[in-house]
Amino acid sequence: MQDTWLQDTQLGKKPREGFSSSVGVIAATLGSAVGLGNIWKFPYVTGQNGGAAFILIYLIAALLISAPIMLSELMIGRKTHANAVGAFKTLAKHEPWFLVGVSGVISSFLIMAFYSCVAGWVFSYVFKAVAGTIESTSPQQTFAVFQTLVNGVGEPLFWQLFVLAFTGTIIMAGVSKGIERVTKALMPILFVLLLIVDIRSLTLPGASQGLKFLFQPDFSKISISVILAALGLAFFKLSVGMGTMTTYGSYMGENENLPKTVLTVMLSDTLVSIMAGIAIFPAVYAFGFKPDAGPSLLFITIPTVFSSMPFGRFFMILFFILVAVAATGAILSLLEVPVAYIVEEYKISRRMATLGTIMAIALVGSTATLSTTLLSQMHIFGKNFFDLYDFVTSNILLPLGGIFFAIFVGWRWGFEDMFEVFSNHGRLKNEGLARIYFILVKFFAPVAIALVLLTGLGFIQF
């Protein structure tokens, strides 16, 4: 990056912004990976699908497939120091590869449409926890509070806008002064909060049953479809297949050890997911509740569980703050994809690009938020808007993007050019690792992801 900066400065151009330190690189990248996926998806899917056996399968899928794709994205970004579309335009001029970047911009936009809706619920729950309005030991009552929120119009829209305005303000502040600074402050807070809630949960009488649910290895539950589910989860978890990591990679300096960054982020992200499971399930079992998936776990069971324990309100506030923190880092990385694209490809100021993006997401996102109320009659391919955006991104665009990132590196870029970036121009002595990585992206990853894609679309059944 120094070279680019130097060149830019000599040409009298304003240098392109980037992350200013390795800690900042890890914080921002981990901030993207850690999100709602760790809290409302990973722990439950793990418990349902064989506990420790599933975690093992997940780690293998993440290591052999998602991590190589993440690394591919980071390398493409760092090589070109350009946004997701510009990166492909630089590396493969006059070829249609830039469409992979375009698909990434669309994916991040569509993910934000529904992700910001759920993040809005989470932010509103921070305030509800403080105000005490979700404090109740009766699931019927917490269910009613949640129903009122999601079946409303003004309230969920307000919170969605709040989330967009909040994250948009950080994005406007810039890459190092906004994203890097905020994630560097938030990630340690997230870890500490998780640790406190973990200790609370583990010290409740009867906690061991929850630990059993989460960890007891049951290899008989592992089937092909569970393996594919693990792979799909590893994809969404590590924010790959859509240019987020290309964009963040473009802000990384020439001395960052990218393979190491990927491994650190992947393992830390899994640790956060496991810690989230430890925060949730022992407490759920300790008070005689049943684990549940998605919205009902987070917004109905959790408030009831926390209300049942000593100092429950305090821990409930901490819990929802940590979920809000997790969602914030993920949204920052999602927002940065279209913003960087607009700024660089259309020469529009960062402020205006952010404002325009937020307004467009607010518009499209409101159709997700209102999909169970005002727009409940509107269905496309049998799905309401919320489910449609989720389905199109998770089941089609992300795997498709992943396949093309892998094919680009394996077949279009080639080993020599790739290795220049992988090894920091030969300064890192990691050729053995590079060879393994290259085989993974050239052959293994595209086939495995194609299987996920075809299964997700119902073309193959196991």
Nearest distance in Å: CB 242, ligand PFF: 5
Q: Which is nearer to ligand PFF, 232 or 312 (CB)?
A: 232
113 binds ligand PFF (CB under 6 A): no
Transcribe 324-362 into DSSP letters.
HHHHHHHHHHHHHHHHHHHHHHH---HHHHHHHHHHHHH
Whose Cβ is closer to ligand PFF: residue 289's or residue 319's?
A: 319
Q: Which is nearer to ligand PFF, 228 or 286 (CB)?
A: 228
183, 333, 354, 371: which one binds ligand PFF (CB under 6 A) = 333
What is the distance between the alpha carbons of residues 202 and 207, in angstroms, rounded to a whole number? 6
Minimum Å gap between C-beta 233 and ligand PFF is 9
- For ligand PFF, the closer CB: 186 or 242: 242
- Among 58, 61, 68, 59, residue whose Cα is nearest residue 436: 68
CA distance linking residue 315 with residue 287, whole number of Å: 15
Q: Using the rule CB under 6 A, is 46 a contact of ligand PFF?
A: no
Closest to ligand PFF by CB, 182 or 204: 182
Minimum distance of ligand PFF from residue 10's CB (angstroms) = 35
- Does 33 sit near ligand PFF (CB under 6 A)? yes
Q: Which CB sits closer to ligand PFF, 207 or 238? A: 238
**35 sits near ligand PFF (criterion: CB under 6 A):** yes
Q: Is 120 in the site for ligand PFF (CB under 6 A)?
A: no
Any contact of residue 244 with ligand PFF (CB under 6 A)?
yes
Which one among 18, 24, 31, 37 touches ligand PFF, defined by CB under 6 A? Answer: 37
DSSP notation for 47-91: HHTTTHHHHHHHHHHIIIIIHHHHHHHHHHHHHHTS-HHHHHHHH
Our finding on whether 239 is near ligand PFF (CB under 6 A) is yes
| Cα distance from N-terminal residue to C-terminal residue, the chain | 47
Nearer to ligand PFF, 49 or 239 (CB): 239
Q: In the complex with ligand PFF, which residue's Cβ is closer, 24 or 401?
A: 401
- Cβ at position 369, least distance to ligand PFF in Å: 18
The amino acid sitting at 447 is: V
Choose between 304 and 354: whose C-beta lies nearer to ligand PFF.
Answer: 354
Nearer residue to ligand PFF within complex by CB, 304 or 333: 333
The one among 27, 30, 36, 397 contacting ligand PFF by CB under 6 A: 36
Say whether residue 242 binds ligand PFF (CB under 6 A). yes
247 binds ligand PFF (CB under 6 A): no
Using CB under 6 A, pick the residue from 74, 76, 330, 453 that binds ligand PFF.
330
- The phi and psi torsions of 206 (rounded to 5 degrees) equal 85, 15
Among residues 108, 246, 384, 455, which is the contact residue for ligand PFF, using CB under 6 A? 108
> In this structure, which long-range contacts are made by residues 260-264, counting pairs with CB atoms below 8 Å and at least 24 apart in sequence?
261/22, 261/25, 261/26, 261/29, 261/74, 262/67, 262/70, 262/71, 262/74, 263/67, 264/26, 264/30
Calpha distance 113→369 (Å, rounded) = 8
**Alpha-carbon Rg of the chain, whole angstroms?**
22
CB of 359 to ligand PFF, least distance (A): 20
**How many C-beta neighbours within 10 Å does residue 219 have?**
12
CA pair distance 245, 77, nearest whole angstrom: 7
**Which residues, in sequence order, are bridge partners of residue 380?**
383
- Give CA–CA dist 315/279, Å, rounded: 10
Query: Pick from 25, 31, 32, 368: which binds ligand PFF (CB under 6 A)?
Result: 32
Please report, to the nearest 10 degrees, the dihedral formed by the alpha carbons of residues 351, 119, 107, 358 taken in order. Answer: -20
Place of tokens 């409740």: 204
C-beta of 33: minimal distance to ligand PFF in Å? 5
Q: Which helix (H) or strand (E) holds 156?
A: helix 154-173
For residue 237, state whether it binds ligand PFF (rule: CB under 6 A): yes
Burial class (CB within 10 angstroms; exposed 0-12, middle 13-18, buried 19+) of 436:
exposed
Q: Does 122 bind ligand PFF (CB under 6 A)?
A: no
104: left (phi over 0), alpha (psi -120 to 50) or beta: alpha
Total binding residues for ligand PFF by CB under 6 A?
A: 16
Residue span binding ligand PFF (CB under 6 A) among the ranges 152-160, 296-304, 329-337, 454-462: 329-337
253 to 312, contacts with ligand PFF by CB under 6 A? none
Per CB under 6 A, 323 contacts ligand PFF: no
Q: Give the CA distances from residue 461 to residues 221, 223, 308, 388, 450, in Å, rounded to whole numbers and listed in that order.
A: 17, 12, 43, 21, 13
Q: Which stretch binds ligand PFF (CB under 6 A): 150-158, 162-170, 307-315, 327-335?
A: 327-335
CA distance 285 to 96: 53
List contacts with ligand PFF (CB under 6 A).
32-33, 35-38, 108, 111, 236-237, 239, 242, 244, 330, 333-334
